[in-house]
Amino acid sequence: MSLTDILSPSDIAAALRDCQAPDSFSPKKFFQISGMSKKSSSQLKEIFRILDNDQSGFIEEDELKYFLQRFECGARVLTSSETKTFLAAADHDGDGKIGA
C-alpha cells in the first residue's frame, strides 16, 4: 500500500507546494491540506506505518526530517528547526520519538 492509496495525489501535491520554502512547514496545515486530518484512525495508522521507514513502531527524529520525501521523492528535507518543532508537537510522552 502507498500513501496515494489513502490520500489524493492532488492533495499531497498541494500540501507539498504549500511548504516548499525552508522553515515554512506546519504539521497542522500539512495534515489539513493533504487530507490526513479527515482520515479514520485505521487509515492514519496505515499512513503511520508507511511513514515509519524502519518499521520500528516509532518515527524518530532522523526519520522525521525526511517526512516530506515519503510523500514525494524529490521533496525537500525538513530543516532542523522544523524537525524539532514537529517532534515536540507530536511526542506526547517525551521519549524523543513519535508513536502511532
Residue ranges of the annotated binding site are 52, 54, 56, 58, 63, 91, 93, 95, 97
**97: three-class secondary structure by DSSP:** strand
- Residue 40 zone, left/alpha/beta (φ > 0; ψ -120 to 50; rest): beta
- Among 51, 63, 66, 36, smallest CA distance to 100 is for 51
- Residue 89 zone, left/alpha/beta (φ > 0; ψ -120 to 50; rest): alpha
Which residues contribute to the annotated binding site for Ca(2+)? 52, 54, 56, 58, 63, 91, 93, 95, 97
